[in-house]
């Protein structure tokens, strides 16, 4: 298995976010994917490769050009590397600041996902794009939830030129951006299992009545689950979701993988133990699809490496 990883993500390292009126330490830290990379190197589960550099056109094709230019421009105007600019438009929350290095890091995260997509196209079976910042909340013209460009969606758009793509989003939070970008398409299936948006971010989407529009009707499927969801009920939901992927019969599967479903995640609320990630990997591997794993959230930094390791033991078995 190839693991795509670049250290450029470190150029984006905000110190604070604002949550319910309080200034708190930033949860989406560089140490997150460093912890994963370290563990996977130790365990020798894959071969690390650097992302290729793709044209910015891939970003401009999925996002509003003014939005992309806005992030690039604002990043260039930030004076010191540690400073953060909180935009007041093209943004949905107070968790997604722009730093000097944000555009560059977010661009490399896209390259990391697309490099993985290209490897799938060339016949690799399982590829892991260790992206940071994450992407699934980024909409056509909106940043939010620590996301700027939608890595998984841009990889899906790229792969959809070759064949049908299913995106399975198992991050704890609903991927409002990915859903939006394919809402009217029947050639890209979006399925998400996440915390009930009535109580958790992104609050405004991810309800089960959202099923797509126009030609895309029936090609979006949401499984909102209550806080406190445990392995048993999560597994049943996952099996149901995977059945839908199978029926759709895609050429490629993209998994938006978030480890914030872990029982000790500081911002999650499900009860999955570390060992469950092996089960999750195994269930997904049973589909035998060409699969691109794209890293999304997961904030229990010290345990992330173990979760990733278990997931890859499962999917490769
Ligand atoms: C991004 B991803 C608590 C507030 C957190 C934002 C959640 C963004 C999640 N510090 N709210 O889907 O993991
Ligand atoms: Zn999340």
Task: Render pLDDT for 74-132 as a digit per residue (tens, 0 to 9).
Answer: 999 999 999 999 999 999 999 999 999 999 999 999 999 999 999 999 999 999 999 99
- The tally of CA atoms less than 13 A away on the side-chain side of residue 58 is 28
Catalytic annotation on 137? yes
CB of residue 32 inside a 6 A radius of ligand 1: no
pLDDT score, position 58: 98
- The rounded percent of the chain whose pLDDT value lies above 70 is 100
pTM over the 0.95 mark: yes
- pLDDT band per the 50, 70, 90 thresholds, residue 188: very high
**Ligand 1 center to residue 227 CA distance, Å?**
15
**Could you give the CA distance from residue 118 to residue 165 in angstroms, rounded to a whole number?**
14
What was the pLDDT predicted at 235?
Answer: 98
Distance CA 174, CA 203 (A): 9
Any idea which ligand is nearest the CA of 135? Answer: 1
> Does the Cβ of 258 fall within 6 Å of ligand 1?
yes
Q: Quick check: 113 and 135 in contact, CB under 8 A?
A: yes
Calculate the dihedral angle through the C-alpha atoms of 116, 120, 122, 123, rounding to the nearest 10 degrees: 140
| Residue among 19, 92, 95 whose CB has most ligand 1 atoms within 8 A, to mutate | 95
Ligand 1 binding pocket includes 146 (Cβ within 6 Å): yes
**Which residue in 102, 137, 90 sits closest to 297, CA to CA?**
137
Residue 250 binned pLDDT confidence (cut-offs 50, 70, 90): very high
Taking each helix axis from N to C end, the angle separating 276-285 and 231-248, rounded to the nearest 10 degrees, works out to: 20
Q: pLDDT band at residue 25, thresholds of 50, 70 and 90? A: very high
The best mutation among 146, 170, 295 to test binding of ligand 1, ranked by most ligand atoms within 8 Å of the C-beta, falls on: 146
190-224 pLDDT, tens per residue?
999 999 999 999 999 999 999 999 999 999 999 99
Q: Is 269 in the pocket of ligand 1 (CB under 6 A)?
A: no
Token reading at 17: 């976010």
- Mean pLDDT for 55-60 is 98
Contacts 24+ apart (CB under 8 A), 65-70: 66/141, 67/140, 67/141, 67/142, 67/143, 68/149
CA of 269 from ligand 2 middle (Å) equals 11
Separation of alpha carbons 150 and 143, rounded Å: 9
In eight-state DSSP terms, residue 296 is -
Q: Tell me the best of 297, 301, 304, 307 to mutate to test the pocket of ligand 1, counting ligand atoms within 8 Å of each CB and taking the most.
A: 297
- How much is the pLDDT for 69? 98
Looking at residue 219, what DSSP letter applies? S
pLDDT band for position 30 (50/70/90)?
very high
Residue nearest atom 2 in ligand 1 by C-alpha distance? 297
Q: Is the CB of 297 under 6 A from ligand 1?
A: yes
Helical segments of 97-144, H only? 102-121
Distance, CA of 306 to CA of 312 (rounded, Å) = 10
Evaluate whether 252 touches 116 at the Cβ level (below 8 Å): no
pLDDT level of residue 61 (50, 70, 90 thresholds): very high
Query: Ligand 1 in contact with 177 (CB < 6 A)?
Result: no
Distance CA(184)–CA(199), nearest Å, equals 26
Q: What is the pLDDT of residue 154?
A: 99
Mean pLDDT of the chain: 98
Rounded distance between C-alpha atoms, residue 60 and residue 154, angstroms: 10
Mean pLDDT of 146-167: 99
Residue 231's CB is within 10 A of a number of other CB atoms, namely: 18
CB atoms within 10 A of CB 141: 16
């Amino acid at each position: 298995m190839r693991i795509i990883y670049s250290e450029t993500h470190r150029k984006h390292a905000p110190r604070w976010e604002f949550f319910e009126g309080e200034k708190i330490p930033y949860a989406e830290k560089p140490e997150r994917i460093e912890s994963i990379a370290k563990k996977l190197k130790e365990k020798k589960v894959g071969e690390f490769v650097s992302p290729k550099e793709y044209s910015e056109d891939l970003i401009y094709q999925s996002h509003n050009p003014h939005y992309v230019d806005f992030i690039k421009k604002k990043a260039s105007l930030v004076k010191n590397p540690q400073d953060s600019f909180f935009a007041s438009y093209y943004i949905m929350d107070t968790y997604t600041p722009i730093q000097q290095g944000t555009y560059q890091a977010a661009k490399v995260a896209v390259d990391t996902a697309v490099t993985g997509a290209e490897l799938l196209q060339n016949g690799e079976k399982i590829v892991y794009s260790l992206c940071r910042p994450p992407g699934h909340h980024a909409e056509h013209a909106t940043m939010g939830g620590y996301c700027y460009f939608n890595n998984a969606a841009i990889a899906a758009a790229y792969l959809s030129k070759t064949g049908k793509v299913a995106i399975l989003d198992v991050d704890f939070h609903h991927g409002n951006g990915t859903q939006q970008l394919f809402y009217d398409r029947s050639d890209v299936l979006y399925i998400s299992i996440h915390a009930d948006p009535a109580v958790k971010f992104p609050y405004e989407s991810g309800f089960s009545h959202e099923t797509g529009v126009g030609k895309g009707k029936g090609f979006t499927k949401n499984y909102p689950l209550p806080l406190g969801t445990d392995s048993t009920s999560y597994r049943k939901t996952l099996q149901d979701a995977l059945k839908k992927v199978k029926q759709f019969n895609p050429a490629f599967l993209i998994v938006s993988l978030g480890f914030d479903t872990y029982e000790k995640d500081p911002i999650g609320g499900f009860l999955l133990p570390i060992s469950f990630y092996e089960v999750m990997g195994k269930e997904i591997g049973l589909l035998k699809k060409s699969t691109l794993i794209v890293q999304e959230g997961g904030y229990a930094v010290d345990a992330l490496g173990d979760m990733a390791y278990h997931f890859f033991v499962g999917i490769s078995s």
